[in-house]
Structure 1
């Protein structure tokens, strides 16, 4: 059949020029490797890092301090997250302590914002931290309505405890794992369920509570915490997320990669998707989990000054002042 097809093509050639064209056509029909094929259909990437790239990135909005910020009517409560603290004194009472909210409380106060910091058990369960937070607000706010910048313990306090002497107007969460963390899942898998009680026992020997860790898994948040901790009507919920790409020596390199493969963009500890809650204000780009409390920011800014580098895309102090400004504009 192939030979007859070639013969038929040659018969239609009436000049040397047309003969050349016909022979080329014959080769195309003869060789399946050269025959025209349908272009391959484009397939969507399965990589979650590409599937949920944020469309509301915040690039340089909090790079520098503005000339003025509005002051909210009511106090702001700053409450640290897991393994946090109010002030850490490693050198005893005679040496300066390490502040969790380094420079942030001073900057807010300098602008006229009434700010209250609250210490809760660093690794206690959400329920226990929520109880201590309620006590601290009741004691220090003295009946004033408050705006809270905190995390899951605040959500639980507002929704489940509803302390009668604490009036909350708003809750702003920043890189909070509202849907858990795949890195917590990974750690439990790596450690193994049979070894977890031993680790817990060792931590408890040094005075550390262990209730918080299992509550960071995605399963716990999806099946237990979120269903029984609904938002309260009349309270405003705001949230921010963060994402960055760690360098080779970053302490977040492993955790970032684990989370990126499963959840997508993240700040080294919490994914952007897990951070979304209520009125999502945006994703801080090129910002790690430590940048958010101004720790790594100090070293970074010092390095920029030494090298003469101009690019400063995130200033934690400007960020928290802007949250205060946002609350003021909302009448809070």
Structure 2
């Protein structure tokens, strides 16, 4: 068990102790007040003050520890705890929410630690070729600015060697593809690994398809797994670009490009990236790429055999795709809670940004739709919020993807 989880467990034990001892003390003081007051009031008052002091210490030790160490509390529950802490009854409800949330976190992380220790000797993610994680638009994915949340660490704990795309946050697909091709070439030449297994999220999947088909990356790629990639674009993006005045688009683009340049992007291009994510933009890209691994939009999960084609730049590369469904807007974090209804109106079931018909590509497509009312958003698929989602362990999801690549000799 990690130090953080041990601290979380201690903190939640202290809060549980506070909860039950406060309840028993309250009952005890009510009963003792009938027996001792008014003739023994000094003793009663002294005991009351001593108990209040002890309970005060227990509570604050517990609450400070869980606030400092818990990941799953998040900002929302922390704010609820602070706001409700001074309101009778509401503070008890908030405390129960905090205890339940942290207790579940401790149980989940402890079980995950046990699982990883039990399979550590097998190094199930130690693939023949290293893993290259390729980010989507408007983010970076370096080891410092971690786009992928807890996923890289989980892969490495299970034997994987992980690299990052480290390309610009916003650029056209062709520009990003050229940048990624050079990144792959540097990795291959520096390490002598020969090839890489690529896992690409969102626009990163389009960038990598273009890199393989048009930029010469194909000989250096063993597999390409796309995660929630809009292979056929986002219909609502086409709509927005026709409704938002050009002057507003230009102001937004200029503001973003200036900020991205200060953060390290050499040639940020907000509008080029956005246009390449529209349905019309993806249609143009697919025409240039040659949609060698196009799947029928109704393809069920499973493997579709594809005969090797000498003219196919993807020949010999394992290609697969995944997509997920967000069930309702309220379970998507900002801004997906706003975009989900728009995408649903224009494109149907979606992850908050990309619809189901746009996801399938490659030899295999898997649609993720867990039980319950929450679903899995575009951001959940990269652990952006570090949230333990009931019914979907995002870290284990990636571990199993990479473990399967290892089983296939990649």
1:325 is paired with a residue whose SS is helix
C-alpha change, 1:163 and 1:205, in structure 2 (3 Å) is: same
C-alpha distance in 2 between matches for 1:292 and 1:266: 13
Q: Is the 8 A contact 1:182 1:258 kept in 2?
A: no
Q: TM-score, normalised to structure 2's length? A: 0.56
1:215-294 matches, within 5 Å, as: 215-222=276-283, 224-230=284-290, 231=292, 232=313, 233-248=315-330, 250=332, 251=334, 252-285=336-369, 286-294=375-383
The Cα shift of 1:70 comes to 5.2
Q: Is the 8 A contact 2:126 2:159 kept in 1?
A: yes
**Runs of 5+ consecutive residues of structure 2 not aligned to the other structure:** 1-110, 262-267, 293-312, 370-374
Q: Give the structure with the larger helix fraction.
A: 2
Q: Quick check: which has more Rg, 1 or 2?
A: 1
Structure 1: gaps spanning 5 or more residues: 1-62, 89-96, 302-311
Matches of 2:394 and 2:174, distance apart in 1? 29
Query: Which position in structure 2 is the counterpart of 1:74?
Result: 129
Q: By how many angstroms is 1:188 displaced? A: 0.9
Cα displacement string for residues 52-104 of structure 1 (whole angstroms, at most 9, x for unaligned residues):
xxxxxxxxxxx97686435321111111111121248xxxxxxxx54112221
Matching of residue 185 in structure 1 with residue 238 in structure 2: yes
Give per-residue Cα distances to partners, 1:117-175, cap 9 Å, x unaligned. Answer: 121111111111111111111112324211111111110000001148x5111110000
Q: Is residue 70–residue 329 contact of structure 1 (8 Å, CA) maintained in 2?
A: no
Task: Describe how 1:103-122 pairs up with structure 2 within 5 A.
Answer: 103-122=150-169
Deviation at 1:249, TM superposition (A): 7.0
Q: How far apart, CA to CA, are the structure 2 residues paired with 1:264 and 1:216?
A: 17
2:401 to 300, 306, 323: 323
Q: Partner of 2:287: helix, strand, or coil?
A: coil
Q: How far 1:111 moved relative to its partner? A: 1.2
Which structure would you say has the larger RCO, counting Cα contacts within 8 Å and 6 or more residues apart? 1
Matches within 5 A, 1:33-182: 68=119, 69=124, 71-87=126-142, 97-142=144-189, 143=192, 144-150=194-200, 151-163=205-217, 167-182=220-235
Higher strand share: 1
The answer on whether the counterparts of 2:184 and 2:220 sit within 8 Å (CA) in structure 1 is no
* 8 A contact 2:229–2:354 mirrored in 1: yes
CA RMSD, 1 decimal: 2.3
C-alpha contact (below 8 Å) 1:176/1:275 kept by paired residues: yes
Q: How many residues align?
A: 249
Shift of 1:227: 1.2
Does the 8 Å CA contact 1:121/1:128 hold for their aligned counterparts? no
- What SS does structure 1 have at the residue aligned with 2:288? coil
- Residues in 2 aligned to 1:87 and 1:148: alpha-carbon distance in whole angstroms: 15
Q: Give the superposition deviation at 1:225.
A: 0.4
